[in-house]
Structure 1
């Protein structure tokens, strides 16, 4: 549901994110409540959505975990700016920090879970801002980007049309 049409009390919130190309909105949704354990979820992609994390709604809030679903800039409910320079890891790290600040997460309660691309983003975030993290959780991330790139070149990239490959 887009943030503008979210029902009151739904936990949906748009957070402004400042970039070199202007200010955009990212979508978040809180589920559950806990003063001690707040879990921000970083989805895969970049460009995927929070939706595959929604299964957590069925059990984590009941276990005392406050969840924050979040669509990164360029994903699903969030702004979709058309600036190739926004697809840089450092910019995404800045975005996560702005989201953390807006949600008032801190080193006493902030758990960060990154899945796939979100795991790479979570590690980069932790390297820059570990003082704000209580725990870091990495799920299903490639163990070596250079090794994965070699694998992708050998198995996938050779099958792509030249125009698609140039865009990637």
Structure 2
């Protein structure tokens, strides 16, 4: 099926964020027909938090090649969904429960429970997807955890190893406490090019993810911290693998050979989830869906349609 003949539906669903202090909504886009497809739709959970849905655009090929409809959405706090800049630093607001409630609200709005649905979560989205799957929601059929840490402390351990392998001038710049200095930003950009997205130039949709984070970093600052290299947010001690044994659906775990999500922080998913397969993309960093698109589609398409 060609992109020109694909049904695309965009909409908003009202979502009342607990303690949000205002009415809100979640923006979504369905790529492909939910009614005519014989395969369960795939709900895409983007990273960041706050990166928005655009950088996951290669997933549309799963519909064009395998007939799997894709549900994209912007999590609240970013993109075309309601923003809550006034909640910066409020870790009682920006919680897994908040994003799970939003996800459930969207799943129910699109009436996905009865037909069944799958989830792919990339980076932060995989952390969210794993916690969601561990609660065994009705209708969930399969889970893909793409470049997501099972343990943030182990993510830091792996990240420190990657940093130790950088050129000395880059390492020294990254040790600065001034995260807004030109030297730090240049060193961070070097790290990102090695371990976040190795394509040069970056695809426009990947650039949009960074722009989304610049435009509103509220959720990212609160949950993650000031950068991928400095974890000071509410998830700094997060150990997602501790609930992963409760995931009852078939699960595919992915990472890249050069990924900032190194094997040490991904391995606990593989060790703890009962029905799991782990694939590493040998020529990718954090965005295998861009860096090795054909193999990514083959691996994910086979898993979802099998």
TM-score, scaled relative to structure 1: 0.80
1:60 maps to what in 2?
63
The more displaced of 16-25 and 156-165 is 156-165
2:9 maps to what in 1?
11
Residues 1:27 and 2:27 are matched in the alignment: yes
Q: Distance in 1 between matches of 2:110 and 2:16?
A: 15
Q: Distance in 1 between matches of 2:42 and 2:136?
A: 16
More strand by share: 1
Residues 1:146 and 2:153 are matched in the alignment: yes
Which string of whole-angstrom CA distances, capped at 9 and with x for unpartnered residues, describes residues 90-122 of structure 1?
211111111111111126421011000000000
Q: Distance in 2 between matches of 1:151 and 1:76?
A: 30
CA contact (8 A) 1:115 1:139 kept: yes
Structure 1 residue 61, shift from structure 2 partner: 3.8
Structure 1 residue 50, shift from structure 2 partner: 0.7
What secondary structure sits across from 1:57 in the alignment? helix
What secondary structure sits across from 1:26 in the alignment? strand
Decide whether aligned partners of structure 1 residues 107 and 115 sit closer, same or farther in structure 2, where only a CA change above 3 A counts.
farther
Q: Distance in 2 between matches of 1:143 and 1:128?
A: 16
2:106 maps to what in 1?
99
Residues 1:89 and 2:96 are matched in the alignment: yes
The more displaced of 145-154 and 70-79 is 145-154
1:6 maps to what in 2?
none
Q: Distance in 2 between matches of 1:72 and 1:159?
A: 32
Q: Distance in 2 between matches of 1:124 and 1:166?
A: 20
1:38-53 correspondence runs (5 A): 38-53=41-56
Q: CA RMSD in A?
A: 2.8
The more displaced of 60-69 and 148-157 is 148-157
2:143 maps to what in 1?
136
Aligned length: 160
Structure 1 residue 129, shift from structure 2 partner: 3.6
Q: Distance in 1 between matches of 2:60 and 2:147?
A: 20
CA contact (8 A) 1:113 1:139 kept: yes
Q: Distance in 2 between matches of 1:28 and 1:35?
A: 21
Rg larger in 1 or in 2?
Answer: 2
Structure 1 residue 147, shift from structure 2 partner: 1.4
CA contact (8 A) 1:40 1:67 kept: yes
CA contact (8 A) 1:37 1:64 kept: no
